[in-house]
Amino acid sequence: MDNVPYEFASAVAHLGTRKTVSELSRMGENMWSSVGETHKEKRRNHELRVFLSEEGIFGLVGTGKTHLIREFVRKEESFERIDTVFLYKAPRSLCKEECNEAELRLISEVLKNQPIKKLVVQRSLATKDLSKADFLWQMEFESVAIPSGLAHKALIDFHLLENQKLKKFVVSALDSFGYDFVKKTAEAWKFGKKMSEPEFKKSCKKDFEDLCDLGFQPKNVSIKDLWIVGDGAKRGLLIRAMKTG
Instruction: List, for residues 119-156, the tens digit of each pLDDT value.
Output: 999 877 877 778 777 888 999 999 999 988 777 888 99
Distance of alpha carbon 123 from the chain centroid: 14
Residue 75 lies in a domain: no
Residue 86 lies in a domain: no
Which residue segment(s) compose the domain that 18 sits in?
Answer: 1-42
Residue 53 lies in a domain: no
As a whole number of angstroms, the distance between CA 56 and CA 95 comes to 7
Residue 125 lies in a domain: no
Q: Tell which residue, 144, 137, 72, 140, has the closest CA to residue 110.
A: 72
As a whole number of angstroms, the distance between CA 146 and CA 90 comes to 17
Q: Under a CB-based contact definition with an 8 Å cutoff, are residues 69 and 108 in contact?
A: no
Mean pLDDT over the full length of the chain: 79
Residue 12 lies in a domain: yes
Label residue 57 by pLDDT band (50, 70, 90). Answer: confident
**Model's pTM, two decimal places?**
0.81
Torsion of Cα atoms, 42 then 165 then 104 then 134, to 10°: -170
Number of domains in the chain: 2
Residue 216 lies in a domain: yes
Residue 109 lies in a domain: no
Residue 106 lies in a domain: no
User: Which runs of E-coded beta strand occur in 134-173?
Assistant: 143-147, 168-173
